[in-house]
Chains A and B, each alone.
Chain A
Amino acid sequence: MLIVVCIKQVPDTTQVQIDPVTNTLVRDGIPFIVNPYDTHALEEALRLKDRFGCTVAAISMGPPNAEGTLKKALALGVDHAILLSDRVFGGADTLATSNVLAAAISKLNAEVGEVGLVLCGKQTIDGDTAQVGPGIASRLDYRQLTLVDKIINLDFAAKKIRVSRKLEGRHEIVEAPLPAMLTVVRELNRPRYPKVQMRLEAAEAIVEVWNNKVLGLDEQKIGLKGSPTWVSKIFSPERDKGEIIGDGYADPTGTAALLIDKLMAKDMLPL
C-alpha cells in the first residue's frame, strides 16, 4: 500500500515582509521551511510506515529550489520524493495546483503502488486557503477527511479508515472507505527529528523531478492559464501602535497596577 504525502515549501512566516510597491512577498533572503502542518502529515505517514510497513512517497509542486523540502522528507524516512516542477506549473491557484498533484498521485498509483491514503496539512501558512487537499480528493474521486486530529482505526485489508476530525468545540468521528485524502491538524502527532545519517544520505540523494512532459497535462488546466483566481492585492493590515505603560523594569509592581487599571477601564478584565 502506498501513502502519498503532499508537502509545500513556504517562506518562514515570522520573517515575511511584503514589498509595499509590488504588493508581493519579499522572498529574497527569506529562509524557506516545510509548511508546518505538512510536517504532521509527513510524521503520520512515517508512523503508518513503521506500523504497517507501507511505502511512503512525498510530492511537492514548486520551483527547483523546493528540492530542499523533499530532501528534508527523505531525511525523515520517506521512500520516494518527487518534485513537480515546470515553468508551465507556475502561477497556479489551488485548482491548477490540485490538478498537477492529482495527476502525480495517479501516476504513482499506476507505477509505484496502489495508493491507499493521501495526507496533506490542513492548509499552508502562506496561502492559507485549505483548498488544495480537498481539491486533490475531488480530482481523484477519493473520500476527503479534513482536519483530522487522530486516526482511530486503519484497516488496509478491509480498505477502511476511521478518524477523529477536530471541529470548533467538538470532535467528529468519521469512517470512510479507502482510498481517502486526509488533511491533518497539529494535534495529530509530534513530528520526529531527523537522524544525522539519514540527513547525510538525503543530502546526496537525487530528487526525482517530474515536469509536464512527464505528467502530460493540458496546459489550459495548469499554471496561470488553468487558474480562475488570482491575487489582485496583498497588504499588511493597519495596526494601531501600542502604548508603553510605565517602566516595568524599574517599578514592576506599580506598572502591573497601571496595566490592571487600563484593562479594567476597557472592560477587559472579568471580575
Chain B
Amino acid sequence: MTPNQTVFATLLLVSLAVFAWGCWKRLSLISLGKAEDRFDNIGTRFGEMLLYAFGQKRVVAKPFGINHFIIFWSFLILMVANSEFILNGLFPHTIKLIRLPFELYVPLAFMIDIASLLALIAVTVAAVRRLVAPPYPEARTLEAFAILGLIAILMLASFTLNASELAAIMLRSNADPASFLHTARKIMPVAGLLAGQLPPLQLETIHGAAWWAHALALFAFICYLPNSKHMHILTAIPNCFFRRLEKPNTVPREEFSVGNTFGVDRVDHYSWKDLLDSFSCTECGRCQNVCPASITGKPLNPRAVIHDIKVNLLENGSALKKGGSPQNPLIGEKGEGSVSEESIWSCTTCGACMEACPVFIEQMPKIIQLRRHLVETEAKFPEELLNLFENMEGRSNPWGIAPSERTKWCSQLDVKPFDGETMEYLFYVGCAGSFDSRNKHVSVAMAQLLDKAGISWGILGKDEKCCGDSVRRLGNEFVFDKMARENVAMFKERGVKKVVTQCPHCFSTLKNDYRQYGLELEVIHHSELLRNLVQDGALVMNKTAEGMGTTVFHDSCYLGRHNDVYDAPREVIAAAIGAAPAEMERNRNNAFCCGAGGGRMWMEEHVGERINLTRVNEALEQKPDTICVSCPYCMTMFEDGLKDVKADNVQVRDVAEVMAEAVLR
C-alpha cells in the first residue's frame, strides 16, 4: 500500500472526468433557461459576492450558521493542502509542502492543521445536530450524513498522514523525540500530537493506508460533488454574484402578443438565473421554517418548490436539449419534480423565504410565474378568484363596488381633487381606504393629519383606480398590465410627482412595479410621512395617546421585508404613546405574515391552521391593549382573528389612528 503514481494519476483523471461530466451535465441545463440580464453593476455584484458568499453574512445570521462558516473557510484553506496532496501524488519527488522555505511552511502547516481540526469538529457538530435537532424533519437524509462522513474521513486521514510523515522524519533524523515532538506540536498541533502515538515499526503501513484513504475520499468527494445537493459549493458563489441587487419585491413584465407563452409550465420557460437558483439550493430549510404557509400546514414548501424545479430540469433536460417537449409536468400532482396547484395558491408572497435564504434564491417570482400559467394560459384558479378578477377588470376594485362610491369616505370632509400645479402630494387612498368601512376611518384620520400639518394634498376621487397589486401577485398579469398602463397614463397626465399611500400594497406597487412602465414617482408610505412631519415639528402631540395602552406593532410584509421600512411606524407610535411599542417574538425582517398578501386576502383558507390566528396569538403573548398595524389587509386579518379568539378587549389601530389620537384629540 505505497503511493503509486500511475494508479493515482489514473484515478485522478477518472475523478476529474466524472466531475467535469457532472458539472457539464447539470450546468449546461442552465443554458436552457430564458435570457435575463444579470450582468449590470459588476463592481457592486463583486462586492456583494464577497460579503454574502465569502463573508457568509446571511449564513451566520442564524447561530448555527457559524458552523457552516467554519466548514466553508476550512475548505478554502484546505484547498491548498489538497492541491499539494494531488501534485505530490503526481510528482512525489518534486512537490511537497515541507520543501517550502521554513518561514512559509510553518504558518501554512499550522493553518492546515487547525483548519482540519475545525472542519472535523464542525462536521461532527453538524451530524449530531442533524440527529438530535435537525433543521427540519426530512433533513435526516443518507446523503447529508454521507457527505459529513466523507469530510470527516478526509480530515482523519489527513491527520494520520501528516502524523506518520512527521514520525518518519523524526526517525530518519535521529532527533531527540521529546524536543522534536515538542516543535512538531507547535507547527501542527493535532498531527504533532498524533505523531508521538504512532508505533514506529508500522509507520510505513500506516502512512500508506492514510495516504490511500485520503486519496480515495478526495476522489469520492470530487466525483460526488456535482451530482448532489452539495453542488451548491460550486453554484452558491455565482448565485450571490448574480442575485437581484434590488429587493425582489416585484415580478418581470410579460409581453402580450399573439403566439407568446404566458407564465411558466415548463422548466425551460424559467430564466437561466431561476435554473441556477435550483442548483444553488443546499436544502438548509431556512425558507420553510419561516414560510407562513409551511408553518401553518399548507402544502406549500418553498424548499420543495426549488427542489422540484431542479428535479424537473434533470428529468426533462435531455429531451429539452434536443428541442423536444418535457415528459414530466412542472405543475401537477406527480410528487417530486412537480409543484402542486394547491401549493402554488398557498403563497402569501410575504417574502420571508427570500429574506431567509443565505444564497438569495428568489422563490416568490417563480411561484407567481406558475400562477401566471394557471390563470393566463389555462384560466384555472380557485373559484373565489373569478369575481375578484372580474371586479378588478370591470370596476377597478376588489369588491366590484361602483367607482362613483370612491369618495364616500370623505363626504363629511373638505377634500380637494388633486391638482399637479398647486399641490405637493397625491393622497392615493387605495381600495380598502375608499370602500372598506373599517379602513375608511384610517383615511379620515390621515386626511385630518395632513391638513393639521399644513400639507397641500388632493385625491383622484372617482378617477382613482386600483393599483392592481392583488391581480399581479395572483398571476393575472394581463389584467394588471392593463390597470398599470391606465394608472401610469393618468399619473403622468395629472402631473403626479409625490404620492402618499396608507396601504403598503399600493405603496410597493406604485413605487416598484410601475417603474417597469417608465413611471418614477416619489412614493411615501403614510407612516414615513407622519414620522417626517413629527420630526419637522409640523405635527405636535396634544397629549399622549394613553387610550392605546400597551401597544404591540405588527410589520406589514410589503412595507417591511419588501421595502425595508421598519423604523418609521415604530417612531410614529413612540411619538404618540410616549414609549417604543412592544415587539412580537418575530418582528422586523423576521415578522410573520398576517396571511392576506399575494391575493390570499380574497381566497378561502381551508387547509391547516389559519395564518392570521397564528399571528394574532403571537401578538396576544405581549398582553397588548392595542395591536398597531400599517396596512389595511393586516387590519382586516387582525380584527377577524381577534374575533375568532374572542379577545374583545384588544383593539386594532392603524399608525395614523394612533397618531391622530395624540395630535387631534
State the A residues within 8 Å of B (CB).
Answer: 12, 14-15, 31, 33, 190-197, 199-201, 204, 249
- Contact across chains for A194 and B404 when beta carbons are under 8 A apart: no
B256 neighbours in A (Cβ, 8 Å): 196, 200
Choice from B379, B401, B402 contacting A195 with Cβ under 8 Å: B379
- Can you list 30 A-B pairs, Cβ within 8 angstroms, ordered by A? A14-B400, A14-B402, A15-B395, A15-B404, A31-B395, A33-B394, A190-B386, A191-B386, A192-B379, A193-B375, A193-B379, A193-B381, A193-B386, A193-B389, A194-B379, A195-B376, A195-B378, A196-B256, A196-B262, A196-B377, A196-B478, A197-B258, A197-B262, A197-B376, A197-B377, A199-B478, A200-B257, A200-B258, A201-B258, A249-B441
Smallest CB-CB A-B distances: 8 pairs: A196-B376, A14-B402, A193-B379, A196-B478, A200-B258, A195-B379, A15-B402, A196-B262
B376 neighbours in A (Cβ, 8 Å): 195-197
- Contact across chains for B403 and A15 when beta carbons are under 8 A apart: yes
**Residue among A31, A194, A196 with max Cβ neighbours from chain B (10 Å):** A196
Quote the shortest CB–CB distance from B387 to chain A (angstroms): 10
Asked whether any CB of chain A lies closer than 8 Å to the CB of B383, the reply is: yes
User: Given A12-B395, A14-B395, A196-B376, list of 16 further CB < 8 A pairs?
Assistant: A14-B402, A15-B404, A33-B394, A193-B379, A193-B381, A193-B386, A193-B389, A195-B377, A195-B378, A196-B256, A196-B377, A197-B376, A197-B377, A200-B257, A200-B258, A249-B441
CA distance A249 to B378 in the complex (A): 44
A249 neighbours in B (Cβ, 8 Å): 441
A191 neighbours in B (Cβ, 8 Å): 386
The closest CB in chain A to the CB of B378 belongs to A195
Q: Tell me the B370-391 residues at the A interface (CB within 8 Å).
A: 375-379, 381, 383, 386, 389
B395 neighbours in A (Cβ, 8 Å): 12, 14-15, 31
Quote the shortest CB–CB distance from B290 to chain A (angstroms): 33
Contact string, B400-436, partner A, CB cutoff 8 A, digits 1/0? 1111100000000000000000000000000000000
CA distance A172 to B347 in the complex (A): 45
The closest CB in chain B to the CB of A248 belongs to B437
A204-B258 contact given A14-B395, A14-B402, CB 8 Å threshold: yes
A192 neighbours in B (Cβ, 8 Å): 379
- Contact across chains for B394 and A12 when beta carbons are under 8 A apart: yes
Q: Tell me the B342-394 residues at the A interface (CB within 8 Å).
A: 375-379, 381, 383, 386, 389, 394
CA distance A5 to B660 in the complex (A): 57
Quote the shortest CB–CB distance from A112 to chain B (angstroms): 25
The closest CB in chain A to the CB of B263 belongs to A196
The closest CB in chain B to the CB of A14 belongs to B402
A15 neighbours in B (Cβ, 8 Å): 395, 402-404
B394 neighbours in A (Cβ, 8 Å): 12, 31, 33
The closest CB in chain B to the CB of A201 belongs to B258
The closest CB in chain A to the CB of B261 belongs to A197
B258 neighbours in A (Cβ, 8 Å): 197, 200-201, 204
CA distance A192 to B395 in the complex (A): 19
